[in-house]
């Protein structure tokens, strides 16, 4: 096809697209809060990064994004404000521009400077970064999009891959956009999330605008030996180590009037047979309340394990998210104008925001299609700060390496150091990397 014919075909496609009705969609139950509380000070974004074994070619990364974005309805939208609720509307603008990373991560995504999109793609040397406003999807949905972006980029960069596979999406990739909250909730549940105040970490902060990132690269086979010895899961162990580090470094092993309470997001898809690319998670609370004597690490681990096991059941998870969906579906509340809803939701959020010391989220084990694995070295993820939580943890695993990432606005790194020190003392190899704000 010649250039004239190609131009003509492109114009015909744009003309045809402009004639069809614009697609729109509701926000899922979890997403409703994010537009209300998001801003420069609390961005509600998360980052997924992939490190390749080669330098990134920006033009090819942009081309890959241009190809992949139209296939994902969850990402190919803009946020609109209605009379009663926010809603998504199909975004027919060009994909957002891929940029070289220059600023601190997890900044507020300004739609008017991003072709109205609610995510951003950047690169630095061998690394590709995907930053997502949580209103679109959770970590699982973000990872699905990221994997397809990587696949497409590698096909463009390596003719030997393209000779073996086409540009179609992987067979394991879901494009499902159902609201799994609404589909699976049960009526009659009233109990919601924890609101009692937790112990909050208060340490010296970084200069305003700076954002600290510390990655701990942990050997998975060695970690499994340790968790087997303790008789716990990897997640239970990591959450307990964080509680221990806070107890040692912040409370100095003294009793506390308030508990160390850790929010742990749980991916609901396996429990409810869902493959949605929208948000579908709920929070449980791992709690350790040091009230009397000095506790050993084994004491803390047993308390955290019991706390998590009692909550991570299908019945309890169903009760947690069903309570919030029921509120959303209340006929009276549905008719309240959005301006008033925003005031109420902000008030409710502010009441519950101080109920957790931190959040530790596990994005899970990343499995790639085998043909792409030789080109990919590592995955890392982390989340932005929120009210009362100036230090958070995120877990990512790929091949034999688990990466535990601390994101923080504290200049004091005593909790992070204690966390990794304890893991190393248990006989696990840990390699530390940071984004540079802690260098003197």
pLDDT digits (tens, 9 = 90+) for 339-395: 888 888 888 888 888 999 999 999 999 999 999 999 999 999 999 999 999 999 999
Please, which residues have CB within 8 angstroms of residue 261's CB and are 6 or more apart in sequence?
A: 194, 198, 199, 285, 286, 287, 288, 355, 356, 357
Confidence of residue 314 (pLDDT cuts 50, 70, 90): very high
Average pLDDT over every residue of 258-275: 96
Confidence of residue 10 (pLDDT cuts 50, 70, 90): very low
- pTM for the predicted model, two decimal places: 0.92
CA-nearest of 393, 427, 409 to 216 is 393
For the chain, the average pLDDT equals 92
Q: Confirm if 363 and 48 have CB atoms less than 8 A apart.
A: yes
| b/e per residue 39-48 (b: at least 16 CB within 10 A) | eeebbbbbbb
Average pLDDT over every residue of 185-190: 77
CA-nearest of 64, 119, 44 to 88 is 119
Half-sphere exposure (CA, 13 Å, Cβ side) for 401? 13
Average pLDDT over every residue of 171-181: 94
Give the CA distances from residue 290 to residues 212, 293, 308, in Å, rounded to whole numbers and listed in that order: 29, 8, 17
Residue with the bigger pLDDT between 14 and 118: it is 118
pLDDT score at 300: 98
Average pLDDT over every residue of 38-62: 96
Q: Where are the alpha helices (DSSP H) in 112-266?
A: 139-157, 159-162, 180-184, 220-230, 234-249
pLDDT score at 176: 94
């Amino acid at each position: 096809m010649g250039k004239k014919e190609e131009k003509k075909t492109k114009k015909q496609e744009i003309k045809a697209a402009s004639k069809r009705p614009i697609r729109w969609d509701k926000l899922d139950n979890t997403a409703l809060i994010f537009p209300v509380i998001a801003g420069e000070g609390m961005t509600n974004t998360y980052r997924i990064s992939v490190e390749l074994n080669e330098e990134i070619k920006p033009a090819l990364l942009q081309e890959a994004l241009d190809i992949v974005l139209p296939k994902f309805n969850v990402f190919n939208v803009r946020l609109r404000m209605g009379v009663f609720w926010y809603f998504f509307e199909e975004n027919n603008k060009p994909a957002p521009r891929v940029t070289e990373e220059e600023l601190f991560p997890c900044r507020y995504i300004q739609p008017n400077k991003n072709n109205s999109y609610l995510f951003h793609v950047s690169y630095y040397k061998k690394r590709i970064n995907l930053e997502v406003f949580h209103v679109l999807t959770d970590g699982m949905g973000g990872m699905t999009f990221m994997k397809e972006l990587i696949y497409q980029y590698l096909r463009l960069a390596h003719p030997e891959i393209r000779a073996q596979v086409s540009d179609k999406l992987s067979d394991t990739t879901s494009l499902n956009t159902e609201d799994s909250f609404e589909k699976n909730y049960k009526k009659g549940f009233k109990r919601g999330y924890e609101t009692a105040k937790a112990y909050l970490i208060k340490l010296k902060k970084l200069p305003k605008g700076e954002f600290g990132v510390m990655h701990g690269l942990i050997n998975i086979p060695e970690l499994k030996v340790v968790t087997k010895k303790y008789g716990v899961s990897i997640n239970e162990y990591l959450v307990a180590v964080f509680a221990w580090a806070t107890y040692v470094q912040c409370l100095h092993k003294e009793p506390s009037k308030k508990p160390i309470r850790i929010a742990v997001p749980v991916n609901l898809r396996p429990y409810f047979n869902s493959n949605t690319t929208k948000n579908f998670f709920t929070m449980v609370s791992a709690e350790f309340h040091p009230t009397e004597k000095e506790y050993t690490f084994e004491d803390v681990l047993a308390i955290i394990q019991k706390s998590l096991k009692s909550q991570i059941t299908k019945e309890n998870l169903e009760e947690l998210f069903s309570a919030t969906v029921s509120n959303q579906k209340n006929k009276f509340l549905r008719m309240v104008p959005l301006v008033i809803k925003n005031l109420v939701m902000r008030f409710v959020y502010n009441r519950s925001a101080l109920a957790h010391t931190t959040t530790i989220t596990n994005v899970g084990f990343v499995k790639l299609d085998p043909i792409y694995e030789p080109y990919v070295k590592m995955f890392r993820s982390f989340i932005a700060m929120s009210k009362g939580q100036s230090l958070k943890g995120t877990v990512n695993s790929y091949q034999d390496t688990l990466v535990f990432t601390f994101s923080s606005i504290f200049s004091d790194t005593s909790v992070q150091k204690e966390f990794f020190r304890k893991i190393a003392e248990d006989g696990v190899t840990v390699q530390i990397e940071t984004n540079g704000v802690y260098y003197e």
